[in-house]
Amino acid sequence: MRLLRALKVSLRMNDLKRYTVHIGGIVQGVGMRPHIYKTARQLGLGGWVSNQGTSIIMEIAGSKKAIREFITALLENPPSSAKISNIKIKSKHYKAYKSFSIINSSIENQFQGFIPPDTAICDECIKEIHDKMNRRYMYPFTNCISCGPRYSIIRTLPYDRANTSMSAFEMCPACRSEYENPDNRRFHAQTNCCFDCGPKLVLLDNKGRSIDGIDPVATARQLLREGKLIGIKGIGGYHLACNACDEKVIDLLRKKKRRPDRPLAIMAASLEATKLICRVTDKEEEILMSRQRPIVLLEKRFPELLPHNIAPGMNRMGVMLPYTPLHYLLFHEELQYLIMTSGNISGMPICYKDREVLEKLGNIVDFFLIHDREIFTPIDDSVVRVIDEKEMVIRNARGYSPADLQIDSDSEIMAVSAEQKSSLCLVHKGYVHSAQYMGNLYEMNAYEEYLQVIKRMRVLLGAKSKIIAHDLHTGYHSTQWAIKQPVERIPIQHHHAHMAACMGEHNLKQDVIGIIYDGTGIGTDGAIWGGEFFIGSRGKFSRVGHWKYITLQGGDSAIKEPWKSAVSYLYDMGISSEELLNSINSLKVNVIQNAIKNNVNCFKSSSIGRLFDCVSVLVTKRMHITYDAQAAIELESVIDPDVTDCYPYFIHEKKEKLVIGYEEIILGILQDMKKRKTDSYISAKFHNTVCKATIDCACRIRNRCEIGDIVLGGGVFENTYLLKNMKRGLEECGFNTYYNMKLPINDGGISFGQVVVAAEMIKEGIYVPSGSSKDYNH
């Protein structure tokens, strides 16, 4: 509203005026030019509008009153997918125009603009594909000015058909007529197409041979009903799809995909179908039906309607609704639920190149349903959950990415993330542009695609980063890449980046208490941190508390084999592991114990993630994991929410730091196990203890430093029970509590935090980007 008032003040003086107007934000690929055209024509204004680089430029001429109404309409009622972030208006000598027009785009990019995300099919297009009288009846690539692929098909900006993969498809006369008709909702829709001129579907067997003489969609639907596995090319890559009611084919998919335990996402035919299998709150319904159409983590209904092996041992299920015309056409009265999981071998990036898919997925699927529209940028499905009726993004991808947040910095910075759940951020002209989730960089294919995304984002934004922010860990692929670049670099401590990511999202500028819980991240002392209490700002921090160090053995293998963490904790406490870990060969246990005794391949860790692993081994007997944080996720899933008890704990004071001990907690768990308390009881009691000890520690820190704002960060806070109870307990103690909502609280948000830290260090003079730098104080 301040922007609107300021612009109205400038529209004064003589009655006839002419202005040049620049608009930045998500203003391309969202119907902004047609919207401007129609509004200007309705108000009798003359001039023109054009894409310019990543933004929009226009000239408007006419009466002062009409221009004021035009600006008001533009700011208060933009197209539904648009986001105007800035507007610049400049007065010019009056010149009359006979009419208002849309003119050719220019590549000049002096004004800030954003990259439009891919958008789910709109209601109008859904009606068309089900209307037998419509020429797009059953057309699987129907779209309009308000919906369809954007980011995934853009080669370069400005967003015009020639700069997308739709350049391979010349519009037929009927589509061209719609494109040129101001009264048609496909007026200047760059992806406009139909059966006659647009992309085509083809069904292949898993050897790549075309199956001719059939309707590809109808045949694929029948094959799914019969229990076949199909690789389906979508907006940002391939899905592996099968009938979600068929337990046997789900088991087969898990075996072929090498994904024995991790929950599989499903696509439900409708909201009504979703409500039969899950409980859906009002906010969850809103998100399911939104134009982003993410996977939403929903509470299961019991007894389960669908097979148990979709999300084994979980009380939640990831569900999304159809978001392309093809998805809608695949469903049928007898086919209401599909497994729709990423088209890859577990741990690898999503497949999106047609020439590679046969090699990589041919041994998994029976058939492929593919199309000939090229995907330039692969992008997976986003994942969100709802906490206290507010959306929390877990995986930032299709529909949400690229994400754009304003930042108080003139520096051109690139942040390259960590190693897992990698992402990328570029600061350009005062905005942070956050790229999509790209997986784990220790997988070579993921790392190669990560490098490609760096190139694409630079090209699309026209950004030339002069500073790179990276993690302290020199073993990370992202750090190693950053070190090789011929620009200045700022190393950022991992957990400080988590803290700063939350501060940046919520625009917190005063000192805060940071509680950062995750699995791993190298500390300034060379140890592995992950149970941290900081006080500090965006630019610097002090470590004022942590969970007690434990000597862990085995490096990354201790993460994949949680029993090794349990051996480490029990050995440190002088407790025999043999009876407690009787499913593990005693020779293996002895090897770990001797390695700890002799300090062979050992490291100190304050990670609460490893404490969760230890407790999971003791309580749920999860000795090995097949996906990230599996042990902790399963431990949370068995919680009895009615239990309010806690275990004893002790907070030590060492060299002005508070250190939370784990010994009393583990001893309490072992005593309850001897009493044959249920797993649900012990899990709840353990979670309650972590909450209570954390809140106790936070209160003691506040007594010392008089800081009342707390930020929570790190992947451990994906634990819904922990986050909700921690937040409630802190607020009952008078704290203002914040955590990431728009960007992931896990390592997917690290790159944004790195950007925030680097920008603040430059601003405060902690780092001087002239080649010299001051120490990074902790």
The model's pLDDT over 317-353, given as tens digits with 9 standing for 90+, comes to 999 999 999 999 999 888 999 999 999 887 778 999 9
Average pLDDT of the chain to the nearest whole number? 93
**278 against 11, higher pLDDT:** 278
Of 22-31, 585-594, 706-715, 743-752, minimum mean pLDDT range:
22-31
Q: Do 279 and 299 meet the contact criterion of CB atoms below 8 Å apart?
A: yes
pLDDT over 60 at 749, yes or no: yes
Distance CA 601, CA 706 (A): 41
Helices 630-637 and 608-620 sit at what angle, rounded to 10 degrees?
60
**774 against 624, higher pLDDT:** 624
DSSP state of 164: B
**DSSP line for 678-737:** -HHHHHHHHHHHHHHHHHHHHHHHHHHH---EEEEESGGGG-HHHHHHHHHHHHHTT-EE
Whole-model pTM: value is 0.91
Element spanning 286, H or E: helix 282-288
Element spanning 389, H or E: none
Query: pLDDT value at position 13?
Result: 42
Distance CA 571, CA 567 (A): 6
Comparing C-alpha atoms, which of 718, 542, 686, 502 is closest to residue 611? 686
Q: Do 476 and 521 meet the contact criterion of CB atoms below 8 Å apart?
A: no
Backbone angles phi, psi at 736, to 5 degrees: -90, 120
Q: Which two tokens stand for residue 539?
A: 């630019």
Q: Which residues are CB-contacts of 383 (< 8 A; sequence separation ≥ 6)?
A: 294, 295, 296, 297, 318, 393, 394, 395, 397
Distance CA 346, CA 644 (A): 38
Query: pLDDT value at position 12?
Result: 46
Burial class (CB in 10 A: 0-12, 13-18, 19+), 412: middle
Question: Would you tell me how many other CB atoms lie within 10 Å of the CB of residue 653?
Answer: 10
- What is residue 103's three-state secondary structure? coil
pLDDT grade, residue 108 (50/70/90)?
low
- How does pLDDT run across 411-432, given as a tens digit for each residue? 999 999 999 999 999 999 888 9
pLDDT over 70 at 622, yes or no: yes
pLDDT over 70 at 87, yes or no: yes
Query: pLDDT value at position 521?
Result: 94
Query: pLDDT value at position 473?
Result: 96
Distance CA 242, CA 302 (A): 23
Query: pLDDT value at position 114?
Result: 83
pLDDT grade, residue 774 (50/70/90)?
very low
- How does pLDDT run across 227-268, given as a tens digit for each residue? 999 999 999 999 999 999 999 999 999 999 999 999 999 999
Of 87-101, 207-221, 499-513, minimum mean pLDDT range:
87-101
N-terminal to C-terminal alpha carbon distance within the chain: 40
**35 against 223, higher pLDDT:** 223
**185 against 112, higher pLDDT:** 185
Distance CA 225, CA 170 (A): 36
Q: Which residues are CB-contacts of 341 (< 8 A; sequence separation ≥ 6)?
A: 239, 240, 253, 257, 259, 264, 265
Question: Would you tell me how many other CB atoms lie within 10 Å of the CB of residue 642?
Answer: 8
- How does pLDDT run across 1-55, given as a tens digit for each residue? 555 555 554 544 458 999 999 998 888 888 889 899 999 999 999 999 998 877 8
Query: pLDDT value at position 81?
Result: 82
Backbone angles phi, psi at 695, to 5 degrees: -65, -40
614: amino acid identity, one letter: C
Query: pLDDT value at position 766?
Result: 87
Tokens 């700011």 locate to: 75
Comparing C-alpha atoms, which of 70, 53, 532, 121 is closest to residue 293? 121
Q: Is 12 left (phi over 0), alpha (psi -120 to 50) or beta?
A: beta
Mean pLDDT of 191-200: 98
Backbone angles phi, psi at 153, to 5 degrees: -115, 5
Mean pLDDT of 286-307: 97
pLDDT grade, residue 494 (50/70/90)?
very high
Distance CA 123, CA 127 (A): 6
Distance CA 764, CA 666 (A): 44
Query: pLDDT value at position 7?
Result: 52
Query: pLDDT value at position 5?
Result: 56
Query: pLDDT value at position 349?
Result: 85
Share of the chain above pLDDT 70, in %: 96
Mean pLDDT of 584-588: 92
- How does pLDDT run across 427-462, given as a tens digit for each residue? 998 889 999 999 999 999 899 999 999 999 998 888
